[in-house]
């Protein structure tokens, strides 16, 4: 069965903008935030909650999960196209964030990831392989800076 070309991206972060990154098992050296394809019949929120649980062991309901109502469309990397129907070349990604009180250890899914790290947003933005992931991290940092200036 082919994957749907609809996915979520969840930036897990703390108030002081420490960002959780995971290293892909199928591509060592590729670091990213939480990602995953929507299953048939799932809402985007359900997809985000499921992927957070599967990839980190965290229960998103225990924290502050936010749907940014932002979509990114990008071309699917050639090495991962086999997962999709033959005519599918692009994916639509929906962005979320999950706020944690502090950096905490997570339980990674070893079939998907080799390890995890918490990094300041500036380092995380440079480390991720996906431009849409880097853009979301920058946007999160800008939002937090604006909140500080409004107090």
- For residue 138 the two structure tokens come to 């920058």
Asked if residue 92 belongs to a known ligand binding site, the reply is no
Confirm whether residue 75 is marked as ligand binding: no
| Residue 55 labelled as part of a binding site | yes
* DSSP 8-state class, residue 41: T
* 3-state class (DSSP) for residue 42: coil
- The response to whether 144 counts as a known ligand-binding position is no
Measured CA distances, 119 to 123, 129, 134 (Å): 6, 15, 13
CB atoms near residue 10 (< 10 Å): 28
Instruction: Please give the annotated binding residues for substrate, written as ranges.
Output: 3, 24, 35, 130
Instruction: Please give the annotated binding residues for Mg(2+), written as ranges.
Output: 51, 55, 112
Instruction: Please give the annotated binding residues, written as ranges.
Output: 3, 24, 35, 51, 55, 112, 130
């Amino acid at each position: 069965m082919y994957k749907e070309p609809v996915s979520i991206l969840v930036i897990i972060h703390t108030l002081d903008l420490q960002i959780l990154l995971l290293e892909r098992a199928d591509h060592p050296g590729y670091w990213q935030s939480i990602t995953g394809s929507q299953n048939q019949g799932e809402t985007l929120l359900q997809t985000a909650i499921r992927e957070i649980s599967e990839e980190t062991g965290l229960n998103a309901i225990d924290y502050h999960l936010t749907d940014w109502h932002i979509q990114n469309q990008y071309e699917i990397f050639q090495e991962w196209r086999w997962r999709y129907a033959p005519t599918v070349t692009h994916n639509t990604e929906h962005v979320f964030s999950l706020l944690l009180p502090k950096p905490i250890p997570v339980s990674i899914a070893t079939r998907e990831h080799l390890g995890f790290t918490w990094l300041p947003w500036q380092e995380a933005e440079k480390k991720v392989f996906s431009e849409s992931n880097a853009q979301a991290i920058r946007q999160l940092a800008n939002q937090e800076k604006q909140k500080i200036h409004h107090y």
